[in-house]
Amino acid sequence: LAKTTQPISMDSYEGQEVNITCSHNNIATNDYITWYQQFPSQGPRFIIQGYKTKVTNEVASLFIPADRKSSTLSLPRVSLSDTAVYYCLVGESNYQLIWGAGTKLIIKP
Amino acid sequence: EADIYQTPRYLVIGTGKKITLECSQTMGHDKMYWYQQDPGMELHLIHYSYGVNSTEKGDLSSESTVSRIRTEHFPLTLESARPSHTSQYLCASSESGTGFTGELFFGEGSRLTVL
């Protein structure tokens, strides 16, 4: 089961682009990379998922290099409401996912 | 918005009481999950289900039990609550699929305090 390593916390300012990098050196061939966002006293919310190269949706982009040993979540032009904990997960099935402590992102005005 | 509901949102109860945390989803998802999360800490999978009459234990040992008699309903029961059970319990569901893990849809959680 692949574990991930990501920064414990990050600060940024409104309007900036934020990039959160996650390391997953032991990722397996069938594993997907998934990011979730969690606000206090709520359940996590799915942000984006990818297998390789780049994935983009209406809220974020996910960059995955060819070796897949890391990934970067990019949040364009963040606002105060993006202050949350962000989790990077790798796995083939949801019941295999190992949830770390995530990255606590604080957006300042 | 995800259609997955947990009740109660908050519960304070005395040691030794039996409790049931309810979880229902209206999306027709086959797979459902229960996670335990202490404040500021990681989520731990305690139970999951592939479908009706299917239940499995997760990676974190738990004294709770679950049942899956209907697709939409996945209740969690503690026969005798203890202070060590104080935590937030999160229910989630996902579609059955191949080729990807499938997006997890979470409820808002049930925060349990055992005195």
Nearest to A75 by CA among A88, A52, A57: A57
Question: What part of A 9-48 touches B (C-beta under 8 Å)?
Answer: 32, 34, 36, 41-46
Q: What residues of B are in contact with residue A51 (Cβ under 8 Å)?
A: 100
Across the range B4-27, mean pLDDT stands at 96
pLDDT of residue B99: 47
Q: Can you tell me the distance from the alpha carbon of B8 to that of B6, in angstroms, rounded to the nearest whole number? A: 6
- The alpha-carbon gap from B15 to the nearest alpha carbon of chain A, in Å, equals 24
pLDDT of residue B60: 81
pLDDT of residue B1: 57
- Look-up: residue for tokens 């008699």? B69
Secondary structure class of B62 (helix, strand, coil): coil
Q: Which residues contact B19 (CB under 8 A, 6 or more apart)?
A: B11, B13, B77, B78, B81, B112
pLDDT of residue B110: 97
pLDDT of residue B95: 85
Angle formed at CA A94 by CA B78 and CA B4, multiple of 5 degrees: 60
Q: Can you tell me the distance from the alpha carbon of A24 to that of A22, in angstroms, rounded to the nearest whole number? A: 7
pLDDT of residue B53: 95
Q: What residues of A are in contact with residue B45 (Cβ under 8 Å)?
A: 95, 97
- pLDDT tens profile B91-102: 999 987 654 668
Instruction: Name which of A34, A43, A49 is nearest B109 (Cβ-Cβ).
Output: A43
- Is B61 a residue whose pLDDT tops 80? no
- Report DSSP letters for B18-38, one per residue: -EEEEEEESS--SEEEEEEE-
Which chain B residues have any C-beta within 8 angstroms of a chain A C-beta?
A: 31, 33, 35, 40-45, 48, 56, 58-59, 88, 90-92, 94, 100-109, 111
- Report DSSP letters for A41-75, one per residue: TS--EEEEEESSEEEE-SS-EEEE-TT-SEEEEEE
CA A81 to chain centroid, in Å, comes to: 16
Q: Which residues contact B47 (CB under 8 A, 6 or more apart)?
A: B33, B34, B55, B56, B57, B58, B62, B64, B66, B76
What are the pLDDT tens digits along chain A (109 aa)?
568 999 999 999 999 999 999 999 999 998 999 999 999 989 999 999 999 999 999 999 999 999 999 999 999 999 999 999 999 999 888 888 889 889 999 999 9
Tell me which amino acid residue B11 is. Answer: L
Instruction: Name which of A42, A94, A101 is nearest B33 (Cβ-Cβ).
Output: A94
